[in-house]
Chains A and B, each alone.
Chain A
Amino acid sequence: MEKPFAITLNPGSSLANHTGSWRTVRPEYVSRLPPCNAACPAGENIQGWLFHAESGDYEQAWRALTENNPLPAIMGRVCYHPCENGCNRQYVDASVGINSVERFLGDEAIKRGWKFATQAPISGKRVLVVGSGPAGLSAAYHLTRLGHQAVIYEAAELAGGMMRFGIPKYRLPREVLDAEIQRLVDFGVELHLQTKVTNILDTLKKGFDAVFLGVGAHIAKRAYIPAGDANKVLDAVSVLHNMEDASAPMLGRKVVVYGGGNTAIDVARTAKRLGAEEAIIVYRRTRDKMPAHDFEVEEALQEGISIKWLSTIKEAGESDIMIEKMALDENGFPQPTGEFERIEADSVVLALGQDTDLSLLDNVPGLIVDKGLIQVDKGMMTGHPGVFAGGDMANNERTVTVAVGHGKKAARAIDAWLRGETYAPPPKHEIATFERMNPWYYSDAPKTMRPVLDIIRRQSTFDEVLGGLDESNAQFEARRCMSCGNCFECDNCYGVCPDNAVIKLGPGKGFKFNYDYCKGCGMCVAECPCGAIRTVPEEN
């Protein structure tokens, strides 16, 4: 077409006009740390694996998950999910049921027989791992991923540490535990049972380049309670451990558990399942001070466990115990009142905490032990070079999740140490706080509740109390994730730019800005649902 001068123009020719020069601030894509990830002691990239679950690619989700944690089926049951406490969705309706999706993925992996795949070339290094609890299994797994030969020495006849000997079956079915351990063995982890290490330095000399200690805390703390000969005073560690033996402990009709932690709850609920008519927890403070998790207390109460608050056991008689009432002083500490009560009890189980058996570390130079805990640096290395430690023996939190996190951290540090380097974790992104997000865009979707076993079966069997999600509701739950601080390719930036200055790179590749035309209006930043774009001042 021979066009008239000036009044008729060629289509789209405004591309010659680079409006980017108008800009005083520029948008930039960022990845912010989702609060769930920030809260996860195991360092899981939760948002990252939920991303795959959202589209139904569960295997990819499981693979993303297991980059950090090799035990999702276990963790999906026993983790106290601090991630959910951090979840930004709680400010919209309720936190995403991350834990339930994790369990779904873990169970799916067992059902489908998914295996780990190695990535790194074989290094030829052998690393000893002492103990097959969560810390040890995690360390062994990550060492294997990094190309090293992990060799676990486990003193007990079965692997799993406290996951087997501390957590009751109704919370963690043993076939789940066995499956996840077997997968690690299939992955190449050498597992030697009934192999107790008595002197670590001697054992190290048998061809190991480094060692990770994850021996746990299996020694029950005791409290002095005057007791008659006939009265049974037991400790929680032994009771729960014996549950795994052929002979279940004889606790009697009326069982008193002394303590306020999760272990106390576990023992009381176990006693109930063993046939006790009454299981009573005696705790010296109030419910809000109780270290046990609220939901576990709630489940225990549902199952008929009773709790004596503000009480201490003064003495244990033949068929009863004497309790002294306490009162909180102005600082919130319980003080004796001089008021006493007797309650019937066939046995008393002490659940007052555990200590670690550190005898294998005798004579190791450089080690520092403080209040029963072995002291480690940021890379989980003890004062003795090449000796690393984690799990219950190195911290007071004593959860499976923390232990798994320790194992991972230590494995990375060991890998660096073996190469004569020091492991430097990548810098942490700033937290994706709720204020940085635009929650308008998320569909209204309340949390999916997991099915709960009915009360009668809970009082009489060790069947798992909490059920899992099926595929449809696991996906629903995954899709409740708001992908805080991380692009989930919603196309909002691409769509809302009045200047077409966002380039779509294709599935999985995200977007980039075309700064030739971006005027810096900031609409993409304001309308990004998940806060994955920020504005920075233009320099010139």
Chain B
Amino acid sequence: MSFQPVKFYQTGTFTVGNRLLPPEERSVQASGKRFNSINSGHRACQGCGEALGARYAIDAAMEATDSQLIAANATGCLEVFSTPYPETSWQIPWIHSLFGNAAAVATGIAAAMKVKRAKGKVGDVRVVAQGGDGGTTDIGFGCLSGMFERNDDVLYICYDNGGYMNTGVQRSSATPAAARTATTPAVGHDPGNVFGQGKFLPAIAMAHDIPYVATATVADLRDLEAKVRRAMEFRGARYIHILVPCPLGWGTPSHDTIKMARLAKETGIFPVFEAEHGEVKSVLAIRRPLPVEEYLRPQKRFAHLFGKSPAVATIARIQALADKNIRKYRLQARQESH
């Protein structure tokens, strides 16, 4: 567990806030004075998981750094919806350069800050880089790996919605098996994305032996905030991979964004854990175990699995992937103590 869950205060630490908790135990997002690093008026779709995840993460990073934070952003939904001329939603110093270079730009900023700090021109300014799964696991992977192996003092945050949503929902190396995208259409013998392809970047990040790697979802705010906070306690390269459901790309109602993230975690589809120096340190255990079908069925990108004759074998393969996650990361449901 990345944070000390409150045992029982009506909703404990499940809700964003809890008036029964002492102020110091409350979440950043519950505060009336939170930063809103990404301001109202952005042009994200209704129910955008990425807009939410970005505010959760960057607000937490702002809190952890006492507002001494600069962000570099890859091209993608987050960039496009937040900074169309003549307005920006960002309230922090922020730069967008290219699709594939956010990690390198962040390295540059961190280097600049290090020199300027040595010259006494700035304080301890920290740097985050952020991008979607395409900008992270595909086109930005080279720069990301370089930033990792040099152990540059950058926290990279990937908002994973499983595809290139900005360009109209195409497949990325983070698109799940069997998912329908514009480039993996639900036609032919094996409709949707191919099994056995794709990569799980958190594991690759861990292989770089960087100080901190974590996964999180927008459904577990406390966990997410704790991980950002923890990440900021380290110097060097850090990576947080946040699952952010996309109503457009997943074909889910805009109000179900958090629910989908919760289902991804509860079914074992998306393991939520944290690792330090390449070793898993804690996992967020499944609370109410569910079959993957519960996660798949509400999503139109998996609708072809639930036609007149459900694709039982395909669903079983996805279940096997979830089961493997559960085994590998020891996600078995635990009795909630109180």
Contacts and interface: CB of A to CB of B under 8 A. Distances in A.
A11 B11 CA distance: 36
B219 to A, nearest CB: 9
B89 A442 contact: no
B290 to A, nearest CB: 12
Contact of B256 (A7, A10, A15, A526): A526
- Give the bracket for the number of chain B residues in contact with chain A: 35 or more
A6 B247 CA distance: 31
A520 B10 contact: no
Contacts of B42: 14, 17, 19, 499
Instruction: Specify the main secondary structure of chain B where it touches its partner.
Output: loop
A443 B14 contact: yes
B195 interface: no
Interface in A1-26: 6-7, 9-19, 22
A202 interface: no
Contacts of A521: 46-48, 247, 254-255, 257
Given A10-B88, A12-B39, A17-B87, A522 B47 contact: yes
Instruction: Specify the main secondary structure of chain A where it touches its partner.
Output: loop
A491 interface: yes
B90 interface: yes
Contacts of B30: 491, 494-495
Nearest to A508: B19
B44 A498 contact: yes
B321 interface: no
A197 to B, nearest CB: 49
B218 to A, nearest CB: 8
B333 to A, nearest CB: 11
Given A11-B90, A526-B256, A479 B29 contact: no
B18 to A, nearest CB: 6
Contact of A443 (B46, B55, B258, B338): B338
Interface residues of A, number: 56
A19 B39 CA distance: 12
A445 B254 CA distance: 31
Given A13-B87, A490-B18, A526-B255, A498 B52 contact: yes
A440 to B, nearest CB: 7
Given A490-B16, A495-B29, A529-B15, A480 B39 contact: no
Residue of A17, A55, A490, A523 contacting most chain B CB atoms (<10 Å):
A523
A479 B88 contact: no
23 contacts: A9-B87, A12-B36, A18-B41, A443-B14, A479-B20, A483-B10, A489-B17, A491-B16, A494-B17, A495-B15, A496-B16, A497-B52, A499-B40, A500-B36, A501-B40, A517-B40, A519-B46, A520-B46, A522-B253, A522-B255, A523-B254, A523-B255, A526-B255
Interface of A: 6-7, 9-19, 22, 54-55, 440-445, 476, 479-483, 488-492, 494-501, 504, 506-507, 514, 516-517, 519-523, 525-527, 529
Closest 6 CB pairs of A and B: A491-B17, A495-B16, A522-B255, A14-B41, A521-B47, A521-B46
